[in-house]
Amino acid sequence: MPHVTKLETNLLELIRRTSVELPGDVRAALEAARRREAPGSNARYAMDLIRRNIELAAANSAPLCQDTGAILFYVRAGGGLCQDDFVEAARRAVRTATRKGFLRQNSVNSLTGANSGTNLGPGSPVVHFQQGKGGETEVRLILKGGGCENVGAQYSLPDDRLGADRDLDGCRKAILDAVWQAQGKGCSPGVVGVCIGGDRATGFEHSKEQFLRKLGDRNPDLSLAALEARIVREANRLGIGPMGFGGRTTLLAAKIGALNRVPASFFVSVSYMCWAFRRQGITLDADGAIRRWLHEKSDEV
């Protein structure tokens, strides 16, 4: 069983790096998007500011965004790590990260509006924990800001307003509608994570899990791979562009998964991630030491 103090120290570093550094695949996608925008345009200006923001955050070990977001841990634990030990270490790391300024004081009581000041409270942080075998543990972290969370959407098909039936083309119409409704409020260019099927709760959960994928990976389901590519092409023709200023890049990627559903329901759940796509991961050995980082600055798209 890894010592809780060592685990806490490594989770603190995971939080810091996730908050201040974008993974390489996201940086590469943003740079490619910047180059696509016309010099002198509002879109190019926005992308230039985004690039400068990324550089300053990394150089000063400062958060990429003032909204450090919801704290989402995804854990596949080795046989020597129990859930209670992980949650204890994660909570302590979150408290320390907040005190050090890697996380904003960003968790409030929904009934009173009182800020905990520590990012701790019911539902914060979120820990998705899967117990496994063997000695290695994989921990992934997403910091998801409120602006992009606000523009997520869920559709129940058929949808007469969109002319969307219970098929992949209906799913396409729903996803593109979510992108259109978001406009620049989700801090584009962004990424959509989508779940086709499931129930209302599991659909959104699975849609967020799509953000754990590399931007340049290929969906093993050929029909979903084709839909992902089509969504990006068509979204980038909408003219929304970086921060809603118009331009050629509204989406960097679309990642789509599917869950079984009951016959009476057909949900399409769409989560949106802003350009500040903060995700990182580590693998830990049986003693809690970091073996490797899952996303480096030199990652390919």
DSSP one-letter string for 168-214 = HHHHHHHHHHHHHHHTTTT-SSEEEEEEEES-HHHHHHHHHHGGGS-
What's the half-sphere exposure (Cβ side, CA atoms, 13 Å) at 272?
A: 29
Q: Which stretches of 21-151 are DSSP H helices?
A: 24-36, 42-60, 83-100, 146-150
Mean pLDDT of 247-256: 97
CA-closest candidate to residue 88, choices 298, 286, 288 = 288
pLDDT for residue 154 is more than 80:
yes
pLDDT at 3: 60
pLDDT at 132: 84
Q: How confident is the model at residue 231 (pLDDT cuts 50, 70, 90)?
A: very high
DSSP one-letter string for 213-271 = S-TT---SSHHHHHHHHHHHHHHTTSS--GGGS--S-SEEEEEEEEE---TT--EEEEE
Q: Is 73 in a helix, a strand, or coil? A: strand
pLDDT at 4: 63
Q: How confident is the model at residue 288 (pLDDT cuts 50, 70, 90)?
A: confident
Mean pLDDT of 18-28: 97
CA distance 215 to 28: 10
Pairing mode of beta strands 70-77, 137-144:
antiparallel
> Does the reported pTM lie above 0.85?
yes
CA distance 115 to 58: 27
Fold of 4-21+64-145+278-293: Dihydrodipicolinate Reductase; domain 2 (3.30.360)
pLDDT at 80: 79
CA distance 147 to 21: 19
pLDDT at 1: 47
CA distance 192 to 237: 16
pLDDT for residue 228 is more than 70:
yes
Q: How confident is the model at residue 298 (pLDDT cuts 50, 70, 90)?
A: low
Ranges in the chain annotated CATH 3.30.360:
4-21+64-145+278-293
pLDDT tens profile 28-81: 999 999 999 999 999 999 999 999 999 999 999 999 999 999 999 999 998 778
